[in-house]
């Protein structure tokens, strides 16, 4: 707990008090909850953010606070993030938890439609006076530092001016996501590290870089290219919570036993087992647990689809997760024996979209990234389909069959296209997947039809 009356730490005092963190877990709604934060801390994360919390609801609804925020002794350093558009409400919400964290963060980066409707997140970039008022009020009235997470403008000059204004208003740490607010969802685009570098040169407070980080190598490259003090990962941490652990090459350079270092896919069963332990220690709704399990095991579930049944159990428990991890490791051992190899792991089915992580210059494995990006987009839509199924809104088999035929045509047409920076073929299913999105609005039979359509494509 933060002692009352203690002088509030300023930028670099705060940074040094936190141990000069380099690797950061991003704020993710319903995803960066306590047990997941604790898991990532086991594997290289040195600073974590809570999920984005709604300031008005947090300030006025005790049940919302109880459902959305929890922490523990080992959950530090910790930034608690809020979305807000009213200074008094922001401060009131922050005062509920300021004694349980190292800083309060203001979200100025959320690009989603709900943020536009609520007038918060990146849509406050159109109201700089309000941004200044929010940051100033928190800096003036809170007992802990205020930090801010932003997106960039298309013009670097506007981004730099924006960052300097936020610093002058009282922000003690600035996280810069190198994408504009128009780049979101399936419309991925490459984060602009040069904009982050420009901000770092212009401000005097610690800067966290966000964007294009899907591996340990990406993280090191980002730090070098931007000069930032730390680097943040979001979605890639969901697929591999050990993103910030040293890979084989780094282990070899440091004199560690590189041969003993596992491939990312090999880590998944063990990570799931560790996550189950954290959930036992820090319970959260099982829906969040299932979401993490599906992402961590994405490669394994592609190889062994029948194992999905465990994660679809209504009464699923953490013991089920441990049993699933054991079963996957047993199957891996059997595969290794069958193929006459020492170790076996499933093919890597997930990479960052080539337009989001730099399939060429910002990724150590760009060609696989290019080929797998659309698979990730499809999985997102399959998840949306399952949610729609629960509401009784699922497209018919005929509609999905037509969509699959369209997807197959798109595959044939798009495979010949190349990325701008090298000759890597880029498989783009977006146009066909748009048909599936439209079909979500129709009544029909079963979400499994979509998976069959995707397999056909």
What is the set of active-site residues?
110
State the virtual CA torsion across 211, 79, 153, 155 in degrees, nearest 10: -80
Ramachandran class of 382: left when φ > 0, alpha when ψ lies in -120 to 50, beta otherwise: alpha
Residue 232: its H or E element: strand 230-233
Ramachandran class of 81: left when φ > 0, alpha when ψ lies in -120 to 50, beta otherwise: beta
Peptide bond into 288 cis (omega under 30): no
Residue given tokens 């999105």 in the structure block: 437
- As to burial, measured by CB atoms within 10 angstroms (0-12 exposed, 13-18 middle, 19+ buried), residue 370 is buried
Cα 237 from chain centroid (whole Å)? 6
Contact 174, 151 (CB under 8 A): no
* Sign, CA torsion 347/457/442/380: positive
Residue 28 vs residues 39, 173, 238, 383: alpha-carbon distances, Å: 15, 19, 10, 17
List phi, psi (to 5°) of 216.
-60, -40
Residue 427 vs residues 111, 367, 385, 402: alpha-carbon distances, Å: 26, 11, 22, 19
Contact 457, 405 (CB under 8 A): no
Alpha-carbon distance of 414 to 154, in angstroms, equals: 28
Strand 103-108, strand 53-54: pairing: unpaired
């Amino acid at each position: 707990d933060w002692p009352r009356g203690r002088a509030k730490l300023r930028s670099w005092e705060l940074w040094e008090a936190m141990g000069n963190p380099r690797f950061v877990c991003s704020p993710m709604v319903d995803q960066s909850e306590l047990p997941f934060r604790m898991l990532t801390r086991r594997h290289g994360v040195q600073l974590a953010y809570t999920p984005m919390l709604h300031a008005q609801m947090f300030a006025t609804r005790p049940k919302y606070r109880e459902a959305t925020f929890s922490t523990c002794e080992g959950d530090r350093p910790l930034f608690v993030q809020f979305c807000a558009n009213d200074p008094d409400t922001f401060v009131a919400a922050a005062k509920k938890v300021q004694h349980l964290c190292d800083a309060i963060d203001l979200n100025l980066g959320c690009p989603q439609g709900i943020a536009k409707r609520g007038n918060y997140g990146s849509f406050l970039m159109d109201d700089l006076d309000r941004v200044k008022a929010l940051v100033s009020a928190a800096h003036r009235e809170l007992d802990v530092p205020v930090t801010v997470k932003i997106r960039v403008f298309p013009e670097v000059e506007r981004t730099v001016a924006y960052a300097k204004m936020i610093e002058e208003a009282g922000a003690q740490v600035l996280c810069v996501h190198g994408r504009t607010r128009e780049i979101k969802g399936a419309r991925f685009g490459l984060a602009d590290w040069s904009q982050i570098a420009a901000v770092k040169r212009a401000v005097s407070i610690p800067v966290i870089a966000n964007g294009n980080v899907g591996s340990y190598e990406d993280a090191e490259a980002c730090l070098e290219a931007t000069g930032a003090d730390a680097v943040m990962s979001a979605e890639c941490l969901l697929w591999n919570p050990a993103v910030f652990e040293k890979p084989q090459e780094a282990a070899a350079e440091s004199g560690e036993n590189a041969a003993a270092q596992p491939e990312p896919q090999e880590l998944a069963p063990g990570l799931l087992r560790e996550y189950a332990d954290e959930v036992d220690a820090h319970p959260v709704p099982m829906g969040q647990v299932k979401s993490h399990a599906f992402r961590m095991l994405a490669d394994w579930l592609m190889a062994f689809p029948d194992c999905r049944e465990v994660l679809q159990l209504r009464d699923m428990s953490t013991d089920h997760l441990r049993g699933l991890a054991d079963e996957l490791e047993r199957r891996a051992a059997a595969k290794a024996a069958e193929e006459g190899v020492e170790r076996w792991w499933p093919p890597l089915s997930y990479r960052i979209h080539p337009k989001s992580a730099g399939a060429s210059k910002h990724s150590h494995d760009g060609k696989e990234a290019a080929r797998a990006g659309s698979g990730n987009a499809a999985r997102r839509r399959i998840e949306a389909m399952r949610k729609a199924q629960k509401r009784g809104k699922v497209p018919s088999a005929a509609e999905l069959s037509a969509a699959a035929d369209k997807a197959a045509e798109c595959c044939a047409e798009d495979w010949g296209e190349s990325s701008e920076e090298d000759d890597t073929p880029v498989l783009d299913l977006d146009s066909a997947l748009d048909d599936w999105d439209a079909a979500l609005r129709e009544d029909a039979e079963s979400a499994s039809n979509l998976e069959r359509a995707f397999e056909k494509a």
